[in-house]
Structure 1
Amino acid sequence: MKMKGTTIVAVKKGKQVAVAGDGQITFGDKTVMKGSARKVRRLYQGKVIAGIAGSVADALTLLDKLESKIQEYRGNLLRASVELAKEWRTDRYLRHLEAMIIAADQDQLLILSGNGEVIEPDDGVAAIGSGGAYALSAARALVRHTDLSAGEAAKNALEIAAEICVYTNNHITLEVIERAEL
């Protein structure tokens, strides 16, 4: 049996970028193992926010690798993400890890997967995990049709996903970065 049950949503709007995640870890199809896991973390002196979904050990391993790459490339999130994706896809051990990452800094919002993808969404909204499609739909609607901030939209989208997806709960971790003036 694999552990699963995660929803991560990110919104980049105005001067904010926000990443929110639920706290549920599900074992198999019927058992909630934990309801208050923290799947959203700050990296690189608080300048990067990352949310993880997938197998817990795999996701944490990849999060550590991402943090190392960000350090190596002095905070350049895009370069660090591309290098991690290359390694993730080609390394014999890493390519078997089952997880996804959303990473954001004040300038970029990226989705990273084990297939070597580093995707920057066109609309500044991204979601991964079991309830990702629900959270993505809700976040897009909130961004397009309300004046909510990025943080408020991400939190509300996750609350909506928790009402629909049995693998998502409403124990929400929210991290927000205020973008610097350009």
Structure 2
Amino acid sequence: MIWRSTTILVVSKDGKTVMAGDGQVTYGSTVMKHGARKIRKIADGQVLAGFAGSVADAMALFDRFESKLREWGGNLAKAAVELAKDWRTDRVLRRLEALLLVADKNNVFIISGTGEVIQPDDNVAAIGSGAPYAIAAARALARNTNLDARTIVEKSMEIASEICIYTNKNITVEEI
């Protein structure tokens, strides 16, 4: 059986960065949990982080990422690159199955275990099974409305939950 779950979305606009994650965890064709928390504030509330994939793996990566942030004086870009390098080359870390989405007030990055560190052009990014739906909605709203970042994220996550069977409407939102 395959664990499926998660839509994590971040939008950074007009000095606000907002991240949201749904609460559904699915195992095969069964919903196992409705209220999982997949996003958090780290680095004394200065960075938002969300994950898609194994919870235990994501928690290990959150801890490692937060250590990298401290090591590099809060430099999000450098911490993301250093985590990706470790994740790709470390024998234990490279077995971890997750994606991380991290953001501060100025930057947004997707970090993978294959060494990818992707910074979107428009400060809108998403990971997880509902990512294509959430990011399409967020980009459309960001480009064609005057809505603030929080409203864009909330509306986009609602749209994703109506389309993706692995995404529910139990949304957690964090803002910096």
- Is TM more than 0.5 here? yes
Q: What residue in structure 2 maps to residue 146 of structure 1? A: 145
- Give 1:6-85 correspondences, 5 Å limit: 6-28=6-28, 30-85=29-84
Give the SS at the match of 1:12: strand
Identity of aligned residues (%): 57
Separation in 1, partners of 2:165, 2:155: 17
Question: Which runs of no fewer than 5 residues in structure 2 stay unpaired?
Answer: none
Amino acid at match of 1:152: T
Amino acid at match of 1:171: N
Please list every run of at least 4 consecutive aligned residues from structure 1 whose deviation after the TM superposition is greater than 6 angstroms: none
Matched, 1:3 2:8: no
Q: What residue in structure 2 maps to residue 171 of structure 1? A: 170
* Aligned-pair CA distance for 1:3: 2.4
Separation in 2, partners of 1:37, 1:56: 10
Length, aligned pairs only: 176
Cα root mean square deviation, aligned? 0.9
CA displacement, residues 39-94 of structure 1 (integer Å, 9 cap, x when unaligned): 11000000000011012211221111111111222211111111000000000111
Q: What residue in structure 2 maps to residue 136 of structure 1? A: 135
Separation in 2, partners of 1:71, 1:151: 28
Q: What residue in structure 2 maps to residue 111 of structure 1? A: 110
Normalising by structure 2, we get a TM-score of 0.97
Separation in 1, partners of 2:73, 2:154: 30
Q: What residue in structure 2 maps to residue 180 of structure 1? A: none
Question: Which runs of no fewer than 5 residues in structure 1 stay unpaired?
Answer: 178-182
Separation in 2, partners of 1:140, 1:125: 7
